[in-house]
Structure 1
């Protein structure tokens, strides 16, 4: 694929993003604000590039995005290699996120579940576990949304079937969400 074609695909997906996901991302911001204001935490899980997005967005919330402020409670479930490998070994890779949700999550917390296909077994298991813990779930997916679209209270479904374009939409919306939560929830006294 040529560079021009790649850029055109990106632009097309981004131009459709507000219409496809605008209401959902606003609902996600409200849900996260309520959770953070109530002393709850935001958890993130995903595989591969989506795992990197989880770490990226959690870091923006804990440290800062563009404003000096208090840290916001966010945890990427993709980062602790001892937990991931022990759980993968003892319970199977499908449980690596669900086990952490069971151990760390509580009523009123929010789980962000990233899966470009919407069908990642370990992400789906985490969402099911989050429901058992009384957590809210926000899916980030693409294409037809897969099973994830049916399981989450809110589903951010990028308007493309191309994995790279889906991830580009996710990080744009993730950055907007960080900025919005920082504006709404960030006490300026850092």
Structure 2
């Protein structure tokens, strides 16, 4: 048990260190895009599957409610939460279209689409990013491993250079949290900490 715990911690730390070493510029760029999007009165649209769906919901909640400071709600929506929309699209068309149709219905120029895919190969994330680009939205993705098919597809890719899936997902949560903190502090200062 001790060995498993130590190995897991080692992989998690190594993934975050590699991420910061290789993707610092991308993290800062995405934070600035988020700040600009919100300042313009536009919204963040976040999506992914499985654990990445949970990340999308977690991140949207941090923006709409609060992260570390009390401040006004910020416009963010997770495209993973409406079971009627998800199941009707999946049933009537294809699971590959569940984010695409929501982007087409709710997205507009000036919004920012953030896809999350550990492998970088999720067909529904790929289709949504493509649709967002057609609408004139900025597009960014969080990926892992070699970045998969999403590398080069979005305007900005933040790739965790690790082969260990749990470590990639843990690094994604860290990125999501630091983005929330940067956006909060850029727009509202440090405020009252939670």
Superposed pair shares fold, TM > 0.5: yes
Q: Which residue of 1 aligns with 2:163?
A: 161
Deviation at 1:185, TM superposition (A): 2.3
Verify the 8 A CA contact 1:71 1:186 in the aligned structure 2. Answer: no
Q: Tell me if structure 2 keeps the 8 A contact 1:70–1:186.
A: no
- TM-score w.r.t. the length of structure 2 is 0.94
TM-score, reference length from structure 1: 0.96
How many corresponding residue pairs? Answer: 189
- Pairing 1:10-159 to 2, within 5 Å after superposition: 10-159=12-161
Structure 1 residue 186, shift from structure 2 partner: 3.9
Which deviations, in whole Å up to 9, do the C-alpha atoms of 1:10-49 show, x marking residues without a partner?
1111222211111000000111111111110000010000
Alpha-carbon distance in structure 2 between the residues aligned to 1:2 and 1:171: 21
- 1:5 equivalent in structure 2: 7
After TM superposition, where is structure 1 displaced by more than 3 Å over at least 4 residues in a row?
186-189
Give 3-state SS (helix, strand or coil) of 1:165's partner. Answer: helix
Shift of 1:5: 1.1
How many Å separate the matches in 2 of 1:94 and 1:164? 24
Report the Cα distance in structure 1 between the residues aligned to 2:164 and 2:183, rounded to whole angstroms.
28
Please tell me the root mean square deviation across aligned C-alpha atoms, in Å: 1.4
